[in-house]
Chain A
Amino acid sequence: DVKVTQSSRYLVKRTGEKVFLECVQDMDHENMFWYRQDPGLGLRLIYFSYDVKMKEKGDIPEGYSVSREKKERFSLILESASTNQTSMYLCASSLDQGGYTEAFFGQGTRLTVV
């Protein structure tokens, strides 16, 4: 059973804290992604990575950074958490198979910044 696992289901952090969201996949996928999911806004891509130590900005990278030191692990970092970063964060991984690509998602981390 393929798995994308996010380290926390729920997190509550204070404004200004540095926050780490961790994601691990066991499918040997090259590509990993971080999205945030907000009602009425759908999924918006924050960052993605197509190889170890490689990263690319998505549509909303401001206030975030990422780290990919190992193929199976992709971390999202909120350098200084703010209340507008309260959201559901989804990690995903995939192989690059063009029209046959299937992205596998984690269960999500609901982050609340107070």
Chain B
Amino acid sequence: AQRVTQPEKLLSVFKGAPVELKCNYSYSGSPELFWYVQYSRQRLQLLLRHISRESIKGFTADLNKGETSFHLKKPFAQEEDSAMYYCALMNYGGSQGNLIFGKGTKLSVKP
């Protein structure tokens, strides 16, 4: 079954420390993965796509098919990175694609 697992509900780090938000997936085909972020009192928005191999706000994520992982990393966390982060997988089980989300990880960056 298609599934996205984010093992940490809460991750707390100090400003300037490295951060890694874990995401593992289960999918029978070739996965298309995303990270979405929700800042306090803002709407959920796309952070990055694995296919673009991009770095957004200093965050990167590498797809590791062997480990079925798509962890989000940033070398030096900033206070403004505090938010709720969701890993998502594009599911083509139906007639059209739809996103399956993990349960989310709340990142708290302390000064």
Give A residues with C-beta under 8 Å from B: 31, 33, 35, 40-45, 48, 50, 56, 58, 90, 92, 96, 98-108
Contact = CB atoms under 8 A, between A and B. Distances in A.
Contact of A40 (B32, B49, B103): B103
B9 interface: yes
A48 B92 CA distance: 13
B98 A58 contact: yes
B32 A98 contact: yes
Assign chain B's interface to a size class.
Answer: 20 to 34
Contacts of A40: 9, 103
Contacts of B50: 99
A43 B98 CA distance: 12
B46 interface: yes
A43 B101 contact: yes
A42 B90 contact: no
B46 A42 contact: no
A41 B103 contact: yes
Given A40-B9, A92-B44, A105-B43, 15 more contacts: A31-B98, A33-B98, A42-B104, A43-B86, A45-B98, A45-B100, A56-B95, A58-B98, A100-B52, A102-B46, A102-B49, A103-B99, A104-B45, A105-B44, A106-B43
Given A33-B98, A41-B103, A56-B95, A99 B90 contact: yes
19 contacts: A33-B99, A35-B101, A41-B103, A42-B86, A50-B95, A50-B96, A56-B94, A56-B95, A90-B44, A96-B97, A98-B51, A99-B49, A99-B51, A100-B49, A101-B90, A103-B36, A103-B46, A104-B45, A105-B43
Contacts of B6: 42
By CB atoms of chain B within 10 A, which of A41, A43, A44, A98 has the most? A43
Contacts of A107: 43
Contacts of B45: 104-105
